[in-house]
Structure 1
Amino acid sequence: MAARLFGTGSERLFADSEHSTLDAAHEILANTPVEREPKTIPAASTDRSNLRDLMLAYAKHVGLHVAVKVDPDLIASAAVGERTVFIADRLFGAHESQRLATHEVYGHLVSAFNGRTQPFGIFAIGTAGSYGDQEGVAIYLEELAGLLDSFRQRTLAGRLLATHAMHAGVSFSDAAQSLVREHQFSPDCAVTLCERSFRGGGVSRDAVYLTGWLRVRRAVSRGETSLSELQLGKVSLRALPEVRRLLSDGLVSQPIYLSNLARSRGKTGAGTKSATLPPSLVTSLTRLDAT
């Protein structure tokens, strides 16, 4: 009843005028190779390289004092609390470990810590629309660090397609089978993607990762904003006019914490960049309508 009266929250993500998001997902899946790296990095260890120590090193680099805890019940690879990073109790790839540290620490924690330094609580809680755009900021930082590999791009695209299928009334089984048959996901990956999208009766949040990345990437590449502006708290692109007014009035301060990637926009080497993306996806990165 609530969905019929008020919608599901997916309408702005999958409106007829915004097909470029779905186009981008299909383009990624059609043109990126199916690759997976060996999982050799433990969540924590006293005598070898591990994700916990890497997270702490990234936090120290930007001046953040945080805790990193291994959570055996965590379904996601990693998640952040107010001052804590939670990581799954499993093995990680070396590339994946750096990407997770970049995403969670340089992305989410930096924005959260900066938000708590501002005089208005909304910067710590998040302005309207900030969830998707802050995911976009974190993924864009992955890209600038050269860590947005084909597996990660395929995962983002698969999340969007699974979410779209769920809101279109496709069954869990059919959505998972489609990811396997049409897009070469392994059965385990397809089930995991659909579990995320179908949980709790269905949610739209997994669609925001790809759309958020495209939105933020486009805005920064066009000079419409900067990563430092987007990380002075948990802010959205749509909130920037008001944020700038507060800045000009001296009511909001510039961010205290920033990674070198955000300070310089991070010049990538062999990592993800327009030249290494499918041609039509390069177009969609600049023409995607804001959602």
Structure 2
Amino acid sequence: MAESITEDFIRKIKRSLKRGKRIHRRLPDGGLVYIDRPLPFLVLFRHPKEQTDHPTADFVKANASYIISNQGQTEELRKLVQEIAKTMANEFGAFMLIELMAAPAPDEPLFKIFGPEKQLPATLKVLTKELEGIKISGVRTTVETASNEPLLQEPYCLMAEEDLKKYSILTLGLQLKPVYKDTATGKVYPLLLRTLREKISNAIKKAVFDFVQVQTTHKPVHFQALGRQAVNRVVWRIDKQLTNISDQFRFLLLVTPVNNNEAWEEFRRNKYNKTPTFHYRLMPIDADQLKRKLYNISIEKVDDPTLAYLFRDKRHELDKMLTMLADRNTPAFLYSSMQLYGGVDDHLLKVAEGILAAIPEPTRAKDIDIIPVEEFAAMAEQEINFLKEQYSGVDSGVDVRDDIVGLIVSKGRLNVGTDAKIPRHRAEALIQHEVGTHILTYFNGKAQPLQQLYVGSPGYEELQEGLAVLSEWLVGGLDQDRMRILAARVVSVYHLTKGCNFTDNFWRLKDEYHFEDEVAWDITMRVHRGGGLTKDAVYLRGLVHLLDYLKQGHELEPLLIGKIRQDYIPIVQELIFRNVLRPVPIKPRYLLDPAIRPKLKQLKAGISVFNLL
């Protein structure tokens, strides 16, 4: 319910600030006071008297401390802003007031900063630099500075100059050219508004960060730490809604054949010259109905740009997955797969062909020691118990199943095929791959309040599989045969996307690259399943990108916070700075083993895929 700005209202606001509480109070005519916690800044927007301007008002909502009001309430607003500014200036030693406004004329620059005329503080330089760095396709970025004198004059002045000096308050104005809406009709361009809002929010936070670091007692560790920490209920509701849709189907199981052994026998009987017939699990969902639910989720109600981006990104991925399931076993499946997992670029193809050239023949040991499935399952259970010792929330196990080919982790559990042939020397590497990476990141994600971290961000598979393969190398189990297989998957995906059929891909692996029949079958089946699944290219691609990332001096541990992709790291770091996310509770065995530290140092020094051979 909206409240008038009375003396009592202002007293309550001051009392809440002194107690360190969050403020969320509605004002008349759609106004709002939102202060996440006591902070040495406030962003303000006032609707013009002539008409409301909700699109421009949306820009302030991305901040942790803001007021939305209107010019007609200046008298009441003046008292409220003054009391907030003085209270926070007394607590922090200084205060910053930023007022956003839309440009009144079409010939104005994209951004105009109103600041102190006599001197240009470093804060204004930071804000100018950040705004100049905003690049929007089709929009010319121009930034001008002017005196903030108009902000200090009646009828709309909020604070007298004497008070600004007395309480060390810096007041700035930021005028935006409203390129995010049609000036004639007032119709909003939502994508442009969303992009601009996120970029301007970061520019403001960086300017505030510069100000508070120098002028106040508040010392945030990063500019993102000035963002919102409190997460409103709509965020958790949407997070849960997306997770519920994701939990209704097991994508990999649904696109993996259930008759692998029978199809292999059929293919062999036909002397490898006839594409086999694959059968799949019955579809447990109606893709169209789930899509309806998916797009009924009101993500537009999330005014936090970072969280809204996460949710939109996840919705797009789920949409593509549901399309793929609806197109399973048809030619259309491949095109959706390329949208979801990408294809193979020239660089990755050269790396894959280079590996196959460097290791032209597989190892043909006569007596490979194959570990019994039951023994491997027991080893995996032991490793899961190691995770449970670190975090009691690990609720996982191993299922041995006859409808599974090889190893698959699904919903935090390891599924092992009854016919899985695992060389004993590879057992520990595969356990670190499946348990030490896939299960570990699932439960690290589950330990977070945001469920998307265990469900998986869009495109997370590339980093996941890169980490998983790297873990095999760290524990000494990444042999040359394994690298040949990863490279062959890339080559097979490349030819799949160029129109190559099942039998031709199989014979290429057999004749040109000398893979044994069953290995060539397994690679080809995985790549062609469902109608053409390009996912298998992500193993080598993820490893190449991960090695480059670590070479740049980045740490391995933050990548294990959940099922994220590499470019989500800044987002995750922002949410950690904002205390929305928590520290990682589980570490893999290899990060705790002193014997592996030299290899970790090697990664930071910089090595290529070929150094792993």
> Normalising to structure 1: TM-score of the pair?
0.83
Say if 2:526 and 2:536, in contact at 8 Å, map to a contact too.
yes
Question: For 1:1-291, what aligned pairs fall within 5 Å after superposition?
Answer: 8-9=338-339, 12-14=342-344, 18-32=345-359, 33-35=361-363, 38-44=368-374, 50-63=375-388, 64-75=394-405, 77-90=406-419, 91-224=421-554, 226-263=555-592, 266-267=596-597, 281=610
Alpha-carbon separation, structure 2, partners of 1:187 and 1:88: 19
Say if 1:36 and 1:151, in contact at 8 Å, map to a contact too.
no
Partner of 1:286: none
Say if 2:380 and 2:431, in contact at 8 Å, map to a contact too.
yes
Q: How many corresponding residue pairs?
A: 269
The residue type paired with residue 125 of structure 1 is V
Higher strand share: 2
Say if 2:337 and 2:534, in contact at 8 Å, map to a contact too.
no
Root-mean-square deviation over aligned CA pairs: 2.9
Per-residue deviation, residues 214-237 of structure 1 (Å, max 9, x unmatched): 11122123223x221111111110
- Displacement of 1:27 in angstroms is 1.2
The residue type paired with residue 148 of structure 1 is L
Identity among equivalent positions (%) equals 25
- Displacement of 1:206 in angstroms is 0.8
Q: Which runs of 5+ in 1 are unaligned?
A: 45-49, 284-291
Alpha-carbon separation, structure 2, partners of 1:107 and 1:31: 28
- Displacement of 1:42 in angstroms is 0.7
Partner of 1:288: none
- Displacement of 1:263 in angstroms is 4.9
Alpha-carbon separation, structure 1, partners of 2:510 and 2:458: 35
Alpha-carbon separation, structure 2, partners of 1:26 and 1:4: 23
Alpha-carbon separation, structure 1, partners of 2:534 and 2:335: 17
Alpha-carbon separation, structure 2, partners of 1:215 and 1:10: 18
SS in 1 for 2:416: strand
- Displacement of 1:113 in angstroms is 0.3
Say if 1:145 and 1:268, in contact at 8 Å, map to a contact too.
no
Alpha-carbon separation, structure 2, partners of 1:13 and 1:3: 13
- Displacement of 1:2 in angstroms is 5.0
Q: Report the structure number with the largest CA radius of gyration.
A: 2
Say if 1:10 and 1:167, in contact at 8 Å, map to a contact too.
no
Distance of aligned partners of 1:222 and 1:150 in 2 relative to their CA distance in 1, 3 Å threshold: same
The residue type paired with residue 34 of structure 1 is P
Per-residue deviation, residues 55-86 of structure 1 (Å, max 9, x unmatched): 011112232452111111211x2111224211
Say if 1:144 and 1:268, in contact at 8 Å, map to a contact too.
no
Alpha-carbon separation, structure 1, partners of 2:456 and 2:542: 15
Say if 2:551 and 2:603, in contact at 8 Å, map to a contact too.
no
Q: Which runs of 5+ in 2 are unaligned?
A: 1-330, 389-393
Per-residue deviation, residues 156-212 of structure 1 (Å, max 9, x unmatched): 111111111111111211111111121111122112211111111111111111101
Per-residue deviation, residues 228-256 of structure 1 (Å, max 9, x unmatched): 11111111101111111011111111210
Alpha-carbon separation, structure 1, partners of 2:335 and 2:423: 45
SS in 1 for 2:338: coil
Say if 1:74 and 1:88, in contact at 8 Å, map to a contact too.
yes
Alpha-carbon separation, structure 1, partners of 2:489 and 2:564: 23
- Displacement of 1:39 in angstroms is 3.8
Say if 1:67 and 1:85, in contact at 8 Å, map to a contact too.
yes
Per-residue deviation, residues 3-53 of structure 1 (Å, max 9, x unmatched): 798783389432xxx422111111111112511561431111xxxxx1011
